[in-house]
Structure formats: structure tokens, C-alpha cells
Structure 1
């Protein structure tokens, strides 16, 4: 590919960090150092985030990593400008999106009565989902929730990880979020790289100029991505970023 990569968008869970685990701060510091370099070295792509997590956590990770451009949360439904704390919602969302999402959230609350292990992601506004640290229960819940959404809310996409599940508006998934980011930053999607490990990341992997799956990614992600890193999660992100720097330097 002969296109310079201007921005590197990263997923959080399974990439920057591992769910329900303390971050590897030594590796996080490596990412922070690369981000710091991106503000003064033209070969280092600038960092942004595209995650299914809600805005507050996305903001915190962005602060750790000295992100200086807008970040995407709730799988591309929302964009947060870290410089002024302004939130913008994806313009592709319908006017009744919030009301319909509220109906799904009400079902999740009813589901919690039978499965107290699940925890609704209450700080999300557009996406509707929950987490569950019990992997066996999560597998059971994923089947129940997916079938219910398919029957009652067929307008949603459903994406799962080992510990979470979310109902997402197709017009505001990570792929459309990446395109929206590019419009805001006035760059071609071919100038953006992305790394992601689970099904919700695939629309962004398919649209990015260069795409990565970390070693811990789902099989399907590895099939779609241009490259699979030798390292998992945080170390995989650092590896991919170094590869992008080498790519940009090779174009000079």
C-alpha cells in the first residue's frame, strides 16, 4: 500500500487492555510514548480510539494515552472531543434511536432478575448491552439475548465478546464510526489503520486502509485483517503501531 497512515484507531477491550484485568502499565507506557512521539514526528500515526465502551471510560483511556483528536465510543454511535468535552452523536442515527434502545435496556433489566450475574452497561445511551464475568453464563446469555433481539428488534446488530454483548445500530457501528471520524478529520479511510479483536470490530477492519487483529483475536477477525500481530492485546497494539511507523517511513 502506497498511502501514508495518518491515524491509528484502536479498540480498547482485548487490544489496549484485557477485560477485568489490571492494565499492563509498562506496555501502556510504551503506547503513551508512541502517542507522545506522534505529536512531533510525522512518520508516527496519531492515535484515536474506536470502542464499544461508554464515553467516561473512553475518555479516561484517551487521557492515559495523550490522545489529542476525537475518540469514538459506543461502537461509533458517539464522538467525544477530548479537548473540550463536547459529545456529538452519529448523524446517521434515527430520531427515535434513543427510545428504541430504551426498550432493549428495559428487557436487559428483566433478564437480570433471572441472571443476577449480568451487569447492564448503564452509562451507555444509544447502544444497549451488558457484561458478565462468568464466561459460562455469558455464553448462555448471549444465546438468549441474541434470539430475543432477532425476534423483537431485528433492526439491531448484535455483537459479543467473552464477557459482554451489545445491540448496536448498524448505521452507527464501528465501520460507519470510522468513516465518520475520517469525515471529521478530512482524511480518506485509506489513511487510517485499525486494530480489533471481536465481531464488532470487523466493519472497521473492512474499511481501514491497513487493518490488524491481535494474536488473541477471534478467528474471523484474523481472516479479515491485513495483518495478525505476533503479540496479544496491549503488546499487539504496540507491535502494530511500530509496523505502521515503518510503513510510513518506507514511503519517503
Structure 2
């Protein structure tokens, strides 16, 4: 697919990373870099990953650092406004109980997936879900399947609440944004954004919540979504 130019009157954009800006192997497609760099309105990178990942993406793309990380648990606008909400202690208790029950988080000893997390714990999709969900519920938490990992998190915190916080900091409304994503954790963003687009590889929850669904998958779907955003204005 050819790389489209962002619409001159493009709205603020909130975009997921894994499965949306990437290929099937989760490598970021380099064709998205100029699109994000040239976007004429604020770009929010919203992800289930811990904060260093989206911050690095913003830095390397050359856009202002506006980030929703850990499924809304961490919100960073610029270098001075940082909001951290969630219950990492409860998530750690869930992880400890899960291990005591004979299960493993699945990331190896270095555990680079959780090393920098501040509000939740992520568990490999190769680990059993049912006992994890049961233990999380005992601690008042939920488990969200992002397609990359099972995230043990506060049910009150979502990418949608993160978008509300970012919009407030930018003196915008959530409905001012166009949102593009692929996963269950993007549905809360879709519900608040003025325009929501799921790429074709999205899960059933995201597909049901989106206003539009692209024909193309992964980063090709994002590039198609850019064209859709232009025609929807």
C-alpha cells in the first residue's frame, strides 16, 4: 500500500502500537513513521506496554511525547505532566498468588515485560488464564487480553480514562480525537473518540466497538485508516 499523507485538517489522533502500527511479528512498520511525524494535530500513542516503549517511539518518530501506557494506568503529556493510577500492590499480590499456585508469568528471569510497569502486571498468553482471572477477581482486579499478554489491572482504569486525562491536559474533548486500534483494550478508547477505526486483524471486542473496520490488516490497516480519516472530515 502507498503511504498516504495525513489530511491537512486531520483531527487529533490516538493510536495503538502492537497490531496497529506493526506487522504480524510486532515489528513497527517503517511506513507509519512519516505519517505520524507529519500529522498536523496532536498524536497520542496509547498502549498496554510500559511507559518506556511509547516514549521511545515518540522520540524516534520525532513527535511530542503524549503517551497512554499500561492500558491507561500511566499518562504522560510532554515532560512535565505525569499521572499514575492503579493498584500495583494488588497486581503484585495476584502475581505472587499465581506463582504460589504453580504457574509462571512466562517472561523469563529478566522479565522485561514487567520490569518498568507501575500500575499492573502482564502475564504471557502461554500461561493459563482461568486461575489468573480467578485470583485477580479475589483482589478486585480484572484480566484483559490485549492479544500480546494478559494484563492484570484495575477495572476502573482503561485507555479510555487515559484519553480523557490527555484531552483535559490538551484542552480538548475526547470526541475531538480519531482512534485507531486492534484490541479489547482499545474498545474504551473507541467509545469516547469522535471517530473510531479498527484494523481488520482486530479482536471481536474492538471490531464491535469501532465505527469503521478497515479491509487491510496490521499497519496496512492503519494506512487505510488514515485515508478514511481524511474522507470522514
CA distance in 2, matches of 1:180, 1:122: 25
CA distance in 1, matches of 2:44, 2:63: 6
What do the CA deviations read for 1:78-105 (whole angstroms, capped 9, x no partner)?
A: 1224x53x46124xx47xx233233223
Whether 2:11 is the aligned partner of 1:9: answer: no
Whether 2:164 is the aligned partner of 1:175: answer: no
Q: Is the 8 A contact 1:35 1:46 kept in 2?
A: no
Equivalent residue number for residue 37 of structure 1: 38
- Relative to structure 1, the CA distance from residue 180 to residue 61 in structure 2 (aligned partners, 3 Å threshold; closer, same or farther) is same
Q: Following superposition of structure 1 onto structure 2, how do residues 117-156 of structure 1 map, counting pairs within 5 Å?
A: 117-118=106-107, 121-132=114-125, 137-138=126-127, 141-150=128-137, 152-153=138-139, 155-156=140-141
Aligned length: 221
Equivalent residue number for residue 5 of structure 2: none
CA drift at 1:246: 3.2
Q: Aligned-pair RMSD on alpha carbons?
A: 2.4
Unpaired stretches in structure 2, ≥5 consecutive residues: 1-8
Q: Is the 8 A contact 1:74 1:124 kept in 2?
A: yes
- Relative to structure 1, the CA distance from residue 73 to residue 162 in structure 2 (aligned partners, 3 Å threshold; closer, same or farther) is closer
Whether 2:210 is the aligned partner of 1:225: answer: yes
Structure 1 or 2: larger helix share? Answer: 1
Unpaired stretches in structure 1, ≥5 consecutive residues: 40-44
TM-score by length of 1: 0.77
- Relative to structure 1, the CA distance from residue 116 to residue 33 in structure 2 (aligned partners, 3 Å threshold; closer, same or farther) is closer
- Relative to structure 1, the CA distance from residue 65 to residue 188 in structure 2 (aligned partners, 3 Å threshold; closer, same or farther) is same
Residue in structure 1 matching 2:58, options 58, 62, 74: 62
Q: Is the 8 A contact 1:8 1:241 kept in 2?
A: no
CA distance in 1, matches of 2:97, 2:23: 28
